Amino acid sequence: MSTSDQDQDQRQEQEQGQEPDGSPAETPGAAAQERRLTPRQARRLRVVLSSAGMAATAVVLALRIASRSSVLVVGVYGLALILCGVVIELSRNGRTRLGSWLLGVGLVAAVGADWLLIP
């Protein structure tokens, strides 16, 4: 993790009412605050979701190639696999919102392309 990521994490924790070491700060109403993911947790969650999407896409690709070998099948699911890898890299670099949108839209587009284009 770069120093700027660590600084962001510390600022986020301080804004949420926590000390940099992870212990809650002694502020009134801290328990009433909504619990949110820290930036590090959000990045890890996106990486896990992207990895699961990549594994599921690979399984579907293998099943589709077994039933009907087509360049279009390989193209659609190959692009979905590449998209999952891009989302993992974006999440590692702190672009979790962009990665989330890309993952959602990209996987829906891949399923839609499979449904519409591939017989």
Residue 88 is predicted with a pLDDT of 86
**Could you read off the pLDDT of 18-43 as tens digits, one per residue?**
555 555 555 555 554 578 888 888 88
What pLDDT was estimated at residue 32?
43
Task: Round to whole Å and give the CA distance between 13 and 29.
Answer: 15
pLDDT tens figures, 77-117: 888 889 888 888 888 888 888 888 988 898 899 888 888 88
Q: Which stretch of 5-14, 43-52, 71-80 has the lowest confidence by average pLDDT?
A: 5-14
Of residues 66 and 10, more confidently modeled: 66
Q: Where are the beta strands (DSSP E) in the chain?
A: none
- Sign for the pseudo-dihedral over CA of 73, 62, 97, 4: negative
